[in-house]
Structure 1
Amino acid sequence: MRAMPPAIRPDSAEPMAGHQAATLRVATYNIHKGVLGLGPRRRLEIHNLSLAVEQLDADIVCLQEVRKLNHREAAHFSRWPELPQADYLAPEGYEAIYRTNAYTRHGEHGNAMLSRWPVLSAGHEDMSDHRFEQRGLLHGVVSVHGQSVHVLVVHLGLIRASRVRQAAQLDQYIRREIPTEAPLIVAGDFNDWGERVHRHFERMGLQTCEPAAHPTFPARLPLVQLDYVYVRGLTPLRVVVPRGRAWWRMSDHLPLIAEFTLPQ
């Protein structure tokens, strides 16, 4: 098992405030189902990913492409974890919630959220736009210093028109399910490096940490940003994307870490 880098901290001269009462640290990470490579050369990375998730030191970790089970991979890899991946990746003291987006011949996979704060509730909505892609959102409500913070973990489609329709569905879901005064986090893999979906989110009142791009894909030589953390009712502070060989060998995406202050 490869050694992991030290815990990732945002590039800032200020002391880290990740555990102070008013600061919330959120990470989003597409883990590529815990396996990288193709065919007989594919390698199991879920054990390294468990170390990586702990090193993120985030209050809330939003994960995409998380396997609940896969019979073929479990038979292929002798060290395949017995636990579902969300539970296996949760550091000590964290609560894990998972909802399935896609059912396949050999198993199922979806989105997950790991939280060091108490989880009050969890839900799911199907966001599949056509029969070739099964997509969904995970909705968790977390109690942070006595405040209910809503977290949506999403993984949008590969086709641009699908993403536009899914952004509209996300807008409708937020209007229907989340109080306007409640702090809201929308994080995940948006599969979009253009402006159309992001302009839609701006019209919804969602904002990101920084206007500058923070490339997350492909992990080995990141050229575009596909992974974002959007918020409403929180104040963005800073964002960082960890880099280095230890990171790009675990998934085709790099994780993105963002920090926010909670309303007083």
Structure 2
Amino acid sequence: MSIVRVATYNIHKGVQGLGPARRLEIHNLAHAVEQFDADIVCLQEVRSHNRKLEKHFTRWPDLDQANYLTPDGYEAVYRTNAVTRHGEHGNALLSRWPVLESKHSDVSDHRFEQRGLLHVQLLVESVAVHVVVVHLGLIHASRERQVQRLGRYIASELPPNAPLIVAGDFNDWGAQLLKPMADLDLRTFDGFRLPTYPSRLPLLHLDRIFVRGLKPVSAHVPHGRAWTRMSDHLPLIAELEL
């Protein structure tokens, strides 16, 4: 039996607050990611660069955020979802295990929201494990269509019996995507209520980890003042049996 520890976290582009109260949290986030002690870390709203904020904050890292957040001994994979006026942001995966391959699929549903799937194949204990990092749309109909596109992507790009983890920010306010995901043979933690949003008073279970070919063992959401400062989401950390 092998236990794989997986974390998913929407880092809100490494910046919190508005206007004069805006503050850089990417340095604290680097310590937080290290504390996860996770084999696989799935991140959303990760900045590749932002020319405006790079000038505003004197302590802006020289590296892109994915590589800056990568602990020693891990490998980072990043793909852009959205191109903005001043930069780019997207999904990232940090892995303690060797990366065999990575791909990206655009699942944008309309021109106002740029969304994508980051697909990474890892070698875990000599087993090829596929991980898809997602950040779905704000409109329910868009999320339903994006889950359908996820299903088509899995059917066309993955072996039918390969172990699979799908993790990220599903923006699923009413837990309406559980059945469509189950129809894809993707299951999550039954009976667990793990609210992750908003971080100051978590009420909604927006961040989820779904699996196929692995067994959910445990899951938890860390709480505390430090976590409420770093992002508008809390991280979700799970242990899976391979």
State the TM bucket, normalised to the shorter chain: over 0.9
Deviates more, 1:76-85 or 1:186-195: 186-195
CA deviation after TM superposition for structure 1 residue 194, in Å: 1.6
Q: Which of 113, 122, 130 is the equivalent residue of 1:150?
A: 130
The one-character-per-residue Cα deviations of 1:173-219 (angstroms, maximum 9, x if unpaired) are: 01111111110000000000223311100111111123221000000
1:45 matches 2:25: yes
* Alignment-derived partner of residue 85 in structure 1: 65
Give me the whole-angstrom Cα distance separating, in 2, the residues matched to 1:30 and 1:79: 21
Residue among 170, 173, 185 paired with 1:205: 185
CA contact (8 A) 1:210 1:238 kept: no
- Residue in structure 2 matched with residue 141 of structure 1 by the alignment: 121
Cα separation, 1, equivalents of 2:30 and 2:202 = 22
Q: Cα distance, 1:38 vs. partner?
A: 0.9
Alpha-carbon shift at residue 60 of structure 1 (Å): 0.0
Equivalent residue for 1:256?
236
Separation in structure 2 between the aligned mates of residue 172 and residue 122 of structure 1, nearest angstrom? 17
After superposing on structure 2, the runs of 4+ consecutive aligned residues of structure 1 that deviate more than 3 Å are none
TM-score by length of 2: 0.99
**Alpha carbon RMSD of aligned pairs, Å?**
0.8
How far did residue 156 of structure 1 move?
0.1
Counterpart in the other structure of 1:221: 201
Whether 1:69 and 2:49 are equivalent positions in the alignment is yes
Q: 1:54 aligns with which of 9, 28, 34?
A: 34
Distance (Å, rounded) in 1 between the aligned partners of 2:67 and 2:175:
35
Aligned residues: 242
Letter in 1 for 2:128: S
Alignment of 1:113-152 (within 5 A): 113-152=93-132
Cα distance in 2 for partners of 1:51, 1:196 equals 34
Sequence identity (%):
65
